[in-house]
Chain A
Amino acid sequence: EPEVTQTPSHQVTQMGQEVILRCVPISNHLYFYWYRQILGQKVEFLVSFYNNEISEKSEIFDDQFSVERPDGSNFTLKIRSTKLEDSAMYFCASSKDRVGASQPQHFGDGTRLSIL
């Protein structure tokens, strides 16, 4: 069964440094997402991406965050200047169509980001 894959599984970064989290969505999916989950809390939406542009973003997704689909298979999340509070699990997801069209999102196993 096709899967969303994420790398690295764990990233440790000094505060203030830039970090790039990478994802390979399921190949025939058109919508891509990033979510985060702070330890012990619920999963929170960050951003959705379709047709090479951002569809929606939450309040969490401020100017420090950016997303990119640099080629036909990868989808990346960049945090320009990391803060301690950016420490969390970051999940990438993809779907064939919008969730509003009753299409579920499929998630990768996440990247644990630790900011020191």
Chain B
Amino acid sequence: GESVGLHLPTLSVQEGDNSIINCAYSNSASDYFIWYKQESGKGPQFIIDIRSNMDKRQGQRVTVLLNKTVKHLSLQIAATQPGDSAVYFCAEPFNQAGTALIFGKGTTLSVSS
């Protein structure tokens, strides 16, 4: 079955709010996670990644949190902008050979002005 999934298919926020997008994974052996953003008509765009030896990593306006105890991953976007509107996917290695990614179903983030 699918080892990576998201809690909510859609999330609507106001411009300037902080957004939190969640992801649950089932493979406790997974040691690396990536968040991608996919805008309409485009390919997945790398946002941020985290290894399992970390529980938090920050980028520009984004933070990823990893809770290995409950196998939960979240992406926080600060001061959400209309340009952040997209589908967000979490992904992890398909298996220990580590060449393929398995994607979750995605959360559609809609930002209104």
Residues of A within 8 A of B (CB): 4, 31, 33, 35, 41-45, 48, 50, 55-56, 58, 91, 93, 98-102, 104-110
Contact = CB atoms under 8 A, between A and B. Distances in A.
B43 A108 contact: yes
B100 A56 contact: yes
A105 B44 CA distance: 9
Contacts of A44: 103
A99 B96 contact: no
Nearest to B104: A42
Contacts of A109: 41-43
Contacts of B51: 102
A100 B97 contact: yes
Contacts of B46: 104-107
Interface in B28-47: 31-32, 34, 36, 41-46
- 10 shortest A-B CB distances, which residue pairs? A100-B98, A107-B43, A48-B99, A45-B100, A43-B103, A98-B98, A55-B99, A109-B43, A107-B44, A56-B99
Contact of B44 (A41, A43, A48, A98): A43
B89 A98 contact: no
Nearest to B105: A42
A104 B49 contact: yes
Contact of B106 (A33, A42, A56, A108): A42
**Considering residues B44, B49, B102, which has the most beta carbons from chain A within 10 angstroms of its beta carbon?**
B44
Contacts of A43: 44, 89, 91, 101, 103
A104 B49 CA distance: 7
10 contacts: A33-B99, A43-B101, A45-B102, A48-B99, A91-B43, A99-B98, A99-B101, A100-B99, A107-B43, A109-B41
A110 B34 contact: no
A100 B32 contact: yes
Contact of B103 (A42, A50, A58, A98): A42
Contacts of A93: 43
A60 B32 CA distance: 24
